[in-house]
Amino acid sequence: LSANTNYIAYLFKRAKGYFDVVAYAGNDGVNTLNHSLGAVPEMIWFKCRNNARNWFVFHKDVGIAAYLELDNNAAEAAFSTMFNSTEPTSTQFTVNTSFGNLNNASYTYISYLFATLAGVSKVGSVTHSGSYTDVNCGFSAGARVVMLKRTDATGGWFWWDSTRGIIAGNDPYFLLDTTDAQVTNTDFIDPLASGFQISGDFTDG
């Protein structure tokens, strides 16, 4: 960390129904892995720990035959067997060596599992047509962290939080897929008691 520089940190607590972390070793085959989420994972982030590889993302609304990359603004990419054509369950998820970035022998990986927990978290998708779009997350006091990524075309991984400000005005954001400093002069989202509202001015990066 550099002196005279501002940082922000995000801490996720491992908890049933909301978030879990699984470390595993690749096996060059079909790898069925146990988890302790206590719910079906709706989004999983994967990262190789001992070799240079991108961050790969499973999302329930993209499906098990495609993936996203957390450090890349590309649209979803098809790969029919990367999860062995097997939906995750409340106790396990599966990766396949045919997509070597998730299951190479001699490589070790870390995976982060997310799920919807009523009143706490929401994993989902929304269609935004350019006008204002209300996103109902089932909350009662608004969203504290919001991540948005366009999936059908190129678009950055936008990240907002209530510490820096999710207000009826400009809301600072940064992009997970770049090393750029935050952007502070845009009003792309607004507070909503049940979740958040996407502005008609929102662009997908």
Per-residue pLDDT, 100: 74
pLDDT at 4 over 70: no
Percent of the chain past pLDDT 90, that is, above it, reads 86
Which residue, among 124, 144, 129, 159, has the nearest Cα to 195 in the 3D structure? 144
Find all residues with CB under 8 Å of 131, minimum gap 6, and list them: 200
Tell me the pTM.
0.95
Which residue, among 23, 193, 2, 39, has the nearest Cα to 107 in the 3D structure? 23
Q: What is the pLDDT of residues 63-107, one digit of tens each?
A: 999 999 999 999 999 998 899 999 999 999 999 987 778 999 989
Per-residue pLDDT, 98: 76
The three-state secondary structure class of 13 is coil
Which residue, among 150, 147, 151, has the nearest Cα to 77 in the 3D structure? 151
Cα-only R_g, the chain: 18
Return the higher-pLDDT residue of 4 and 126.
Answer: 126
The residue-averaged pLDDT of 126-140 equals: 93
